[in-house]
Amino acid sequence: MVQAVPREPGRLWRNPEPKPAYDVIVVGGGGHGLATAYYLAKNHAITKVAVLERAWLAGGNMARNTTIIRSNYLWDESAAIYEHSLKLWEGLQAELDADLQFSQRGVVNLAHNLGDVREGMRRVHANRLNGVDAIWLEPEDVRRVCPIVDVSPDKRYPVLGATYQPRGGIANHDSVAWAYARAADALGVDLVQGCEVTGIDVGAGRVTGVRTSRGPIAAGNIAIVAAGHASLIAGMAGVRLPLQSHPLQALVSDLVEEVHPCVIMSNTVHVYVSQAAKGSLVMGAGIDAYNSYAQRGSFHVIERQMAAALELFPVFARAHVIRTWAGIVDVSPDASPIIGRTPVEGLYLNCGWGTGGFKATPAAGWVLASTIAKREPDPLALPFALERFTTGALIDEHGAAAVAH
Ligand SMILES: Cc1cc2nc3c(=O)[nH]c(=O)nc-3n(C[C@H](O)[C@H](O)[C@H](O)COP(=O)(O)OP(=O)(O)OC[C@H]3O[C@@H](n4cnc5c(N)ncnc54)[C@H](O)[C@@H]3O)c2cc1C
């Protein structure tokens, strides 16, 4: 049984100085890093753990995503890990004793051409075989699920049908991060903010510690959970990752009446839209095509995204964009994550989630914690090992992840 650690009244977590050594260092204090630390402590009683975050907790992609949660991926390996995640989401508010505004309002993926229809139907069948809830909607069904989508047949991109996952939905990303942080802290994990990892020490083929902006810290296990910066940090230990970092933008409108009851995604028109609990319409696009580590994107991408949104939802013409932003996402060649060990003993990875890792936050933390604790890949993580890029056993989820999320 892990003992709860006291903290100052009124604080969600402590603000500790880094110690000279830990059993496990998690590099990156986004949602995945915090979940990893929490499950190390909770599931495996490993509490000498530090999460090192160069800025403030969960200010990276975790704060910038559009919060779509679903598990309707095509391949068995993906369905298994994303469905595990969705099941964890379903119990997470109770487990973390926090209001995460988790809302299973359903996720609809629109089909606009014959290719979309075939891909969508194939995915519905594959999902059902994997025990994932999936329904094929005809255009009239789409209108019933979401009355504000324009399903008239004379559009440039008519709605020919859609996949529908009723258990999909959204949650409040900040609340999720803070709930994991609070729970990990209470179990004894040190959450160290303003602590940038600048080097990884390796001796005799295994990690011995990290160098940071706040001095060296020793550890026999280091997990790189740094999303868009993962390849830079892995490079510090001489490990090359097949990842490209791209800006990914999103935006919100002013507050409007409750008009949008679900989540709508469209690969072809290339936009995805939901309505947050407070009323703003939350929209995202595809990645900006160039590589970058700057957390900003180009205006023309936003402009195209707006045009796409209006194509589907003419009623949005009177809403105003009030804020746009970008995160830096880590895109892998097969649009699937990289989880597990590296050629350097004691160095672990959780990266490559690209545009769709928010939904995986609970499962990513769960399987990485298990992999570190047991020193062998968690069965759900095994297919996502780095070696697949040399064996060729890719898990190509471009179809399910093309518009991201
Ligand atoms: C605009 C946008 C929309 C998205 N929409 C969705 C969506 O709807 N659904 C979905 O499932 N996913 C979505 N995603 C993807 C999702 O946000 C990411 O896949 C996921 O958040 C990545 O995991 P993370 O939260 O741990 O990453 P991050 O929050 O980025 O955490 C990584 C952390 O590492 C830190 N770090 C980097 N370098 C160092 C260093 N040297 N030392 C210490 N710390 C370091 C960073 O500061 C950062 O806090 C979206 C992403 C973006 C940008």
Q: Give DSSP secondary structure letters for 267-331.
A: TTTTEEEEE-TTSEEEEEEEE-SS---SS---HHHHHHHHHHHHHH-GGGGG--EEEEEEEEEEE
Q: Is 28 in the pocket of ligand 1 (CB under 6 A)?
A: yes
Q: Is 324 in the pocket of ligand 1 (CB under 6 A)?
A: no
Find the 245 Cα to ligand 1 centroid distance in Å.
11
State how far the Cα of 256 lies from the Cα of 151, in Å rounded to an integer.
22
Cβ atoms of residues 246 and 229 within 8 Å: no
**What is the pLDDT, as a whole number, of residue 2?**
57
DSSP for 18-80 reads PPSEEEEEEE--SHHHHHHHHHHHHHH----EEEE-SSSTT-SHHHHS--EE----SSHHHHH
Q: Is 130 in the pocket of ligand 1 (CB under 6 A)?
A: no
State how far the Cα of 61 lies from the Cα of 179, in Å rounded to an integer.
17
Pocket perturbation via mutation, ligand 1, pick of 358, 361, 367, 368 by most ligand atoms within 8 A of CB? 358
Q: Is 247 in the pocket of ligand 1 (CB under 6 A)?
A: no
Buried b (16+ CB within 10 A) or exposed e, 66-80: bbbbbbbbbbebbbb
Q: Of the candidates 259, 265, 273, which has an alpha carbon nearest to the alpha carbon of residue 66?
A: 273
Q: What is the CA radius of gyration of the chain?
A: 21
Cβ atoms of residues 120 and 109 within 8 Å: yes
What number does the ligand 1 atom closest to the CA of 250 have? 1
Cβ atoms of residues 2 and 41 within 8 Å: yes
On the 0-12 / 13-18 / 19+ scale of CB atoms within 10 A, 348 is buried
Cβ atoms of residues 349 and 230 within 8 Å: yes
> How far is residue 98 from each of residues 92, 101, 275, 362, measured CA to CA in Å?
8, 9, 21, 14
Q: Of the candidates 222, 227, 180, which has an alpha carbon nearest to the alpha carbon of residue 35?
A: 180
Q: Both tokens of residue 24?
A: 């496990």
State how far the Cα of 58 lies from the Cα of 32, in Å rounded to an integer.
9
**What is the pLDDT, as a whole number, of residue 11?**
86
**What is the pLDDT, as a whole number, of residue 375?**
96
State how far the Cα of 222 lies from the Cα of 239, in Å rounded to an integer.
13
Taking residue 379's Cβ as centre, other Cβ atoms within 10 Å add up to 12
State how far the Cα of 247 lies from the Cα of 294, in Å rounded to an integer.
7
Q: Both tokens of residue 216?
A: 């060296």
Find the 138 Cα to ligand 1 centroid distance in Å.
35
Which residue's alpha carbon is at the smallest distance from atom 18 of ligand 1? 357
Q: Both tokens of residue 307?
A: 């045009």
On the 0-12 / 13-18 / 19+ scale of CB atoms within 10 A, 155 is middle
Question: pLDDT tens digits for the chain (405 residues)?
Answer: 556 676 677 789 999 999 999 999 999 999 999 999 999 999 999 999 999 999 999 999 999 999 999 999 999 999 999 999 999 999 999 999 999 999 999 999 999 999 999 999 999 999 999 999 999 999 999 999 999 999 999 988 899 999 999 999 999 999 999 999 999 999 999 999 999 999 999 999 999 999 999 999 999 999 999 999 999 999 999 999 999 999 999 999 999 999 999 999 998 888 899 999 889 999 998 899 999 999 899 999 999 888 888 988 999 999 999 999 999 999 999 999 999 999 999 999 999 999 999 999 999 999 999 999 999 999 999 999 999 999 999 999 987 655 555
Crossing angle of helices 31-44 and 361-374, rounded to 10°: 50
Find the helix or strand (DSSP H, E) in which 145 lies: helix 139-145
Which residue's alpha carbon is at the smallest distance from atom 32 of ligand 1? 226
Task: List residues bridging with 199 in a β-sheet.
Answer: 211
**What is the pLDDT, as a whole number, of residue 400?**
67
Q: Both tokens of residue 210?
A: 């990290």
Which residue's alpha carbon is at the smallest distance from atom 20 of ligand 1? 357
> How far is residue 198 from each of residues 123, 184, 227, 395, 402, measured CA to CA in Å?
43, 24, 16, 32, 33
Q: Is 30 in the pocket of ligand 1 (CB under 6 A)?
A: yes
What number does the ligand 1 atom closest to the CA of 329 have? 53
Q: Is 273 in the pocket of ligand 1 (CB under 6 A)?
A: no
Q: Is 352 in the pocket of ligand 1 (CB under 6 A)?
A: no
DSSP state of 228: G
Q: Both tokens of residue 160?
A: 């020919």
State how far the Cα of 113 lies from the Cα of 393, in Å rounded to an integer.
30
State how far the Cα of 55 lies from the Cα of 29, in Å rounded to an integer.
9
